[in-house]
Structure formats: C-alpha cells, structure tokens
C-alpha cells in the first residue's frame, strides 16, 4: 500500500444536532477548510433533509449518515443521496445492506473480535470508537493482526493535538464531533476549528515518516 499524503487522510465532519436550515452554510465553510466527507447523525433534527441538501449541493464530496442502527435507515440514507453509512457498533446486517447498495460502510469497533466480524461482513473500513478510551497504542496492536489495506478511523475525543500520535499508529483518517461542530457553535467558530484541524493534520503528516 502506497504511503498516504496529507490529502489522502480522510477527515470526517460529524454534524450531530445540525439543523437543515443551517446545514449548507456549515457545509460550505467545512468544504473551504478542506473537509470532503460529512456525516449527519440520525439523532439530529430531520437528518434526511440535511443529507439531501448536502448531497444535492456538490458532486465532489461524500455525504452520509451516522449513528445508523437499522437496515431501513440505510435505504433512507441512499434515497436522500447519501453514500456513506457510519455506525457506533458492528452490525453485520447493516454492513451488508450498505454494501449491497454500493455504499461505504464504516461500522464502530473496539476489539479485534468486532473488527474481524465487520471484515467478515464485507467492509474494509472500520471506526475505532470511542477512540479516546483506547488510545493510539490500541490501534497499533490492532493493526498488527488486521489484513493489509484495512482502514481504521479513530472517532471520539480526537482533537488537533491527538492527530500526530494516531497517524503514527496507522490511522487512515479521523472523525471529529464536538471538537469541530456543535449546534451552538457559530459559523465563524466552526470555520476556525475546521482550519485548525486541517492544519494540524498537515503539520503532523509532514513529521510522520
């Protein structure tokens, strides 16, 4: 597998609690900062409306749903234009339903058992959640047994200072929640946070062999 550049690292903006009437403005500032993957958790207000607005607004980013626990919500996400399914847990049926619809599936895992159950369902992308509970050394240990090419994204409690050690442990990207977005953050604050995270990634990537 070729070494990643800074632009290869996937940064997922988790917009938990976003309102549909604000989602395009927020999406624009995230795009300008360098984010190309946005997740609207399904425990947000009218999440499928937000997904539909984002998906229709640009062709060069990936929009999806988070906190997906049911198969029927996989189809609803696709109907809204989403192409990415993220879950806090490892549910083989949700994974298979996503892949059957040609969508990306990134289930939540913590242990090697959960990771291999997810791989057995067909995905090659995993969300280590909650990442702050386990730390980069946990990812290093997991990567020692995971097949080559499997991507692991730490999510949960990751901020700018944490990016470098996670990269060194083999992270393929990151999901940022309240470190980046909360419903009460101003657009200017979201923009500042997004740019800080992207710059932290670039700085860390420049230092990572």
**Which residues are marked as active site?**
39, 127
Q: Answer yes or no: are the C-beta atoms of 82 and 49 closer than 8 Å.
A: no
Which contiguous run of DSSP H or E holds residue 63? strand 62-66
CA-nearest of 87, 142, 137 to 110 is: 142
Query: Residues 191, 29: contact at Cβ < 8 Å?
Result: yes
Closest by CA position to 102, among listed 115, 84, 86: 84
CA distances from 136 to 12, 115, 158, 192 (A): 18, 16, 11, 26
């Amino acid at each position: 597998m070729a070494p990643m550049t800074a632009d290869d690292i996937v940064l997922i903006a988790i917009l938990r609690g976003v309102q549909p009437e604000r989602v395009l403005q927020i999406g624009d500032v995230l795009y300008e900062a360098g984010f190309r993957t946005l997740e609207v958790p399904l425990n947000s207000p009218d999440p499928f409306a937000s997904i539909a607005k984002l998906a229709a607004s640009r062709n060069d980013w990936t929009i999806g749903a988070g906190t997906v626990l049911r198969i029927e919500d996989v189809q609803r996400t696709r109907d809204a234009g989403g192409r990415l399914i993220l879950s806090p847990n490892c549910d083989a049926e949700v994974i298979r339903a996503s892949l059957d619809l040609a969508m990306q599936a990134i289930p939540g895992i913590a242990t090697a058992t959960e990771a291999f159950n997810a791989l057995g369902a067909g995905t090659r992308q995993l969300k280590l959640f909650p990442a702050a509970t386990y730390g980069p050394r946990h990812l290093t240990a997991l990567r020692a047994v995971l097949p080559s090419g499997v991507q692991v994204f730490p999510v949960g409690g990751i901020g700018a200072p944490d990016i470098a050690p996670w990269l060194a442990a083999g992270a393929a990207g990151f999901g940022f929640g309240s470190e980046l977005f909360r419903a009460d953050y101003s657009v200017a604050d979201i923009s500042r946070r997004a740019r800080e995270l992207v710059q932290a990634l670039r700085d860390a990537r420049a230092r990572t062999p």
